[in-house]
Amino acid sequence: MEITDWLVTATGECQPRPAAKAWDLIRDRYYFHRFLTDITDLLDQAPHELEEWNFLPQIRMRVRQLFTNSYWLKTQQPDPTSKAGVSIFTLYDEIGYPLTVQNVLSMPGVVSPIHNHGTWGVTVIIKGQEKHTFWRSAGSQHQPFKIEPAAERVFGPGEIVSFMPETIHQVTTVGETPTLTFQLYGDTQPQARFEFQPEQATAKAF
Ligand SMILES: [Fe+2]
């Protein structure tokens, strides 16, 4: 069976995870607002924000359910106007809202900084391809932000990549066509979100 769901650990290991069968996820009228309600209901069960990542299996399942049932999701995309080659289309937001929910369009050849998110995340590739390079900490008392490469993998349409708050990655848009992804993140802890410079073993707020 083709593996479609992945978890990237805090040490940059890309582990296959069981995916629900599409047949079992088909549901009439699985609107985006139902999905958001399912996710916030799930997260309400976490005793603390920092333990929300424990619910990644259930969150991945709901993301796959949304991807399976929502044509709307696949048609929401920003105009590719950004000079940097990455355009973000926010799907929902309000003051104090704990989630980031967005579709992101990225042009071929775009390379992101090496970064973590300071929260859990789940991405599904809607169209196109992207290469993720995963890094792990090799830090010591003197060089706390030293990192080393851990793994690399190209993901394509229908694949789900989930990661933990400490997961470090760099994303390159590969292929000839723009890549559209749906991205869901928890509440970012700004003091835990970094952009890394491996040559200098340094990091700055991201
Ligand atoms: Fe990222």
Q: List all residues 6 or more positions away from 150 whose beta carbon is below 8 Å from its beta carbon.
A: 11, 12, 13, 134, 135, 136
Q: How far does the centroid of ligand 1 lie from the alpha carbon of residue 29, in Å? A: 30
Residue pLDDT, tens place only, 17-61: 999 888 899 999 999 999 999 999 999 999 888 889 999 999 999
Q: How far does the centroid of ligand 1 lie from the alpha carbon of residue 169, in Å? A: 6
Which amino acid belongs to residue 178?
P
Residue pLDDT, tens place only, 52-69: 999 999 999 999 999 999
Q: How far does the centroid of ligand 1 lie from the alpha carbon of residue 168, in Å? A: 8
CATH of the domain at 25: 2.60.120.10
Q: How far does the centroid of ligand 1 lie from the alpha carbon of residue 60, in Å? A: 17
Q: How far does the centroid of ligand 1 lie from the alpha carbon of residue 123, in Å? A: 9
Q: Provide the residue range defining the domain that includes 64.
A: 5-205
Question: How many domains does one find in the chain?
Answer: 1
Q: How far does the centroid of ligand 1 lie from the alpha carbon of residue 75, in Å? A: 22
Q: Kindly state the average pLDDT of the residues 83-107.
A: 95
| % the chain with pLDDT above 70 | 100
Q: Where do the H-state alpha helices sit in the chain?
A: 22-25, 32-43, 56-69, 71-75
Cα–Cα distance, 168 to 12 (Å, whole number): 7
pLDDT at residue 123, as a whole number: 98
Q: How far does the centroid of ligand 1 lie from the alpha carbon of residue 28, in Å? A: 32
Residue pLDDT, tens place only, 142-196: 999 999 999 999 999 999 999 999 999 999 999 999 999 999 999 988 889 999 9
pLDDT at residue 1, as a whole number: 56
Q: How far does the centroid of ligand 1 lie from the alpha carbon of residue 197, in Å? A: 15
Q: How far does the centroid of ligand 1 lie from the alpha carbon of residue 65, in Å? A: 22
Q: How far does the centroid of ligand 1 lie from the alpha carbon of residue 147, in Å? A: 16
pLDDT at residue 22, as a whole number: 83
Q: What secondary structure letter does DSSP report for 111?
A: B
CA nearest neighbour of 139 among 99, 166, 101: 166
